[in-house]
Structure 1
C-alpha cells in the first residue's frame, strides 16, 4: 500500500513494521511513551500488536520534519507582513484602521523570534517595521 504526504520518520516506522525488521526498529529515534494501560496489556496478541502499531504511528506522526518546522516558523512573520499590507491598504482607501492596529498590537506583543538565524534576521526587520507603524499611530507595545 502506498501512502503519500507522510514524513520520513513515519515512512521509516512503517517500512520497519512491514518487514518486521527488529534491527531497523532499533535504529529509530528513541521516544518516551507513557506505559500502556493494563487493559491493552491483557489484549489478545493480535489486538495488542494492532494497539502497538497505532501507538508507533501516532508517535511517528508527532515528529516534525524540517520542512514542517520551517513552515511553522515562517507563519508569524508572514502574518505580520500581511497585517502591515492591510494597514497600508486601509490607509490608501481611507478606511478605519482601528481593527488592523489592534491586530498589529497583539501580534507585536506575542511575537517571538524564530530559531533559524536567517529567518530571525528577516523577522526582526518585520517586527521593527510593525513597531514603527504602531508608534506612528501612538500605539506603544
Structure 2
C-alpha cells in the first residue's frame, strides 16, 4: 500500500528545504577578503597553501582566544604571503605580498591642478633658463 501524501503538507517540506538552501547560498556570497592593512592575511578565506599544510588553531592572549594560522609542515605559525607555497584562491595576491582587493579599494592620491602645472613649468624650461621668471597663472 502506497499512501499518497497530500500536496500542501509536502509543499511545506519543500519550502523549508528551499529556505535552508537560500540561507547557505547567502552565507557563501558574503565571504570577503580580510587583509591586514594592504598585506595578505593567512586567516583570509581565500588564502591557501600549496602544500595543504595550513591549519587553524586558537591561542590565548591575555585571556582572550585568538585564531592563529599554523603551518603543519614546519609546526610553527604561518608566515603568510612570504611563504613560497602561499597563493590566493581569487588570484589577488600581488608579488610583494599585498592583497589586490585592498590595493584596489584604497583611495588614489590626486595632485592638485596647481601642483601639476608647476611641475610642467619646471619640465618645460631648459636648465639654462631656470633664472627666468616663471609664468603666473
Whether the TM-score (by the shorter chain) exceeds 0.5 is: no
Q: Greater CA radius of gyration, 1 or 2?
A: 2
Task: Write 1 or 2 for the structure with the bigger share of helix.
Answer: 1
Structure with bigger strand share is 2
Greater length-normalized contact order (CA 8 Å, ≥ 6 residues apart): 1
TM-score, length-scaled by structure 1: 0.29
